[in-house]
C-alpha cells in the first residue's frame, strides 16, 4: 500500500482507524490526512496523531490513493457531490457509513471510475477490537479488497461477504455491542440483588465477559463445549441456565438480531 490515506470526516471512527493504522505500522503520520469542518476535531487529530488536517477535501484528495468516507449517512449525498470532481480511477474509496449501499455510492460517483469497498465496522474499533464486514463494489479488484482488509484488520477482525449480507451484519455485530452492554448491565444489577456492592459486581461482570471471550478465541472451542466446561451435573450453573432457557433467552436474542436486521433493510431502502 502506497501514497496517502485520506479520511473524509474526522470523528471517532476515523480516529480509531487512524490510531490502528499508525500502531500497525501501515502508514506513518505523514501518510495520513483528514478533512473535517470542525476546527476542534482537526486540532485533536493533528495534535494527537501528527497527521495533516484540512477544512476542505479539495486541498488533499488528489494526493490520496485511498479515501475513507467516515461521515454520517445523512450527509453522504452532499459529501459525494463535493467529491465527484476530485475522484478518478486511481482512487480506492472505502465507505463506513451505515446503511448506505454500494449502488448509492456508484450512482452518486458515476463517471469517476473509482473503485469502491463498503465496510460495516462496529464501535469496539475505538479500542482496536472491531468486528468488520467488507463488500467489494463492481470495479474493485482483489488487491483493493486486500488493501481494505489490511486497514480494518488493524482495528480488529474482518470478514469478506457479499453486500446482501451486510444488513444481517448490522443486526448482529453492528448493533451487537448494545446487546452485550444490556447483558452486562443486567448481570451487574443481579450481583447487587444478591448482595454484592455495585463496584464489585461491575468488576466481576466485566472480567467474566472479557475472560470468557478470550477463552473462546484462545481455545477455538464452540460455545456449547465451553458452556459444558462450566456446567456440572446438578450444580449451580445448570440451575441458572434452566431459568434462562425457560424465559426464552436464546429466542429473545435471535428476535433482537432479526429486528435490527429488518430495520437496517428499511433504512437502506430494502424490503
Q: Are 24 and 44 in contact (CB under 8 A)?
A: no
Residue 187 has pLDDT above 80, yes or no: yes
| pLDDT score of 269 | 72
Q: What is the band of 98 on the pLDDT scale with cuts at 50, 70, 90?
A: confident
**Mean per-residue pLDDT for 186-211?**
98
The pLDDT tens digits of the residues spanning 108-128 come to 999 999 999 999 999 999 999
**Mean per-residue pLDDT for 170-177?**
96
What phi and psi values does residue 53 have, to the nearest 5 degrees? -130, 150
CA distance 68 to 14: 8
Q: In what order do the strands lie in the sheet with 156-160?
A: 52-54, 32-35, 4-8, 64-69, 92-95, 115-120, 130-136, 156-160
The pLDDT tens digits of the residues spanning 232-247 come to 999 999 999 999 999 9
Q: What does each C-alpha distance from 269 to 42, 105, 114, 167, 263 come to in angstroms?
A: 33, 14, 24, 11, 10
CA distance 4 to 64: 5
CA distance 42 to 227: 47
DSSP helix/strand/coil, 92: strand
Percent of the chain with pLDDT over 70: 99
CA distance 93 to 114: 7
The pLDDT tens digits of the residues spanning 126-144 come to 999 999 999 999 999 999 9
The pLDDT tens digits of the residues spanning 72-83 come to 988 999 999 999
Q: Which cell is 268 given?
A: 437502506
**Mean per-residue pLDDT for 174-197?**
98
Q: What is the band of 1 on the pLDDT scale with cuts at 50, 70, 90?
A: very low
Fold of the domain spanning 4-166:
Rossmann fold (3.40.50)
Please state the domain extents for the chain: 4-166, 174-267
Q: What is the band of 2 on the pLDDT scale with cuts at 50, 70, 90?
A: low
Which residues are CB-neighbours of 178 under 8 A, at least 6 positions away?
A: none
| pLDDT score of 116 | 98
CA distance 60 to 217: 41
Give the residue carrying C-alpha cell 449502488: 103
The domain 174-267 is placed in CATH, from the list 1.10.260.40, 3.30.300.30, 1.10.3730.10, 3.20.20.30, at 1.10.3730.10
CA distance 271 to 266: 6
- On average, the pLDDT of the chain sits at 95
Q: Which cell is 87 given?
A: 475522484
Residue 60 has pLDDT above 50, yes or no: yes
Q: What is the band of 3 on the pLDDT scale with cuts at 50, 70, 90?
A: confident
Q: What is the band of 270 on the pLDDT scale with cuts at 50, 70, 90?
A: low
Q: Are 61 and 69 in contact (CB under 8 A)?
A: no
Residue 264 has pLDDT above 90, yes or no: no
Amino acid at each position: 500500500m502506497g501514497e496517502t490515506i485520506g479520511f473524509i470526516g474526522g470523528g471517532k471512527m476515523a480516529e480509531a482507524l487512524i490510531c490502528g493504522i499508525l500502531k500497525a505500522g501501515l502508514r506513518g503520520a505523514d501518510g495520513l490526512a483528514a478533512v473535517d469542518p470542525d476546527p476542534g476535531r482537526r486540532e485533536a487529530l493533528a495534535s494527537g496523531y501528527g497527521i495533516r488536517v484540512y477544512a476542505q477535501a479539495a486541498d488533499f484528495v488528489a494526493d490520496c490513493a485511498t479515501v475513507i468516507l467516515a461521515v454520517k449517512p445523512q450527509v453522504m449525498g452532499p459529501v459525494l457531490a463535493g467529491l465527484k470532481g476530485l475522484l478518478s480511477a486511481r482512487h480506492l474509496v472505502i465507505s463506513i457509513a451505515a446503511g448506505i449501499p454500494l449502488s448509492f455510492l456508484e450512482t452518486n460517483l458515476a463517471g469517476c471510475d473509482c473503485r469502491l469497498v463498503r465496510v460495516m465496522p462496529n464501535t469496539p474499533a475505538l479500542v482496536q477490537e472491531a468486528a468488520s464486514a467488507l463488500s467489494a463494489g463492481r470495479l474493485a479488484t482483489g488487491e483493493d479488497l486486500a488493501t481494505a482488509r489490511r486497514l480494518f484488520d488493524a482495528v480488529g477482525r474482518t470478514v469478506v461477504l457479499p453486500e446482501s449480507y451486510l444488513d444481517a451484519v448490522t443486526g448482529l455485530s453492528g448493533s451487537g455491542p448494545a446487546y452485550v452492554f444490556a447483558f452486562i448491565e443486567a448481570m451487574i444489577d443481579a450481583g447487587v440483588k444478591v448482595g454484592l456492592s455495585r463496584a464489585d459486581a461491575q468488576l466481576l461482570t466485566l472480567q467474566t465477559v472479557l475472560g470468557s471471550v478470550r477463552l473462546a478465541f484462545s481455545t477455538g472451542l464452540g460455545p456449547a463445549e465451553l458452556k459444558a466446561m462450566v456446567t456440572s451435573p446438578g450444580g449451580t450453573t445448570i440451575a441458572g441456565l434452566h431459568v434462562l432457557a425457560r424465559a426464552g433467552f436464546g429466542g429473545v436474542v435471535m428476535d433482537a438480531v432479526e429486528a435490527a436486521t429488518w430495520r437496517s433493510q428499511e433504512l437502506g431502502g430494502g424490503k
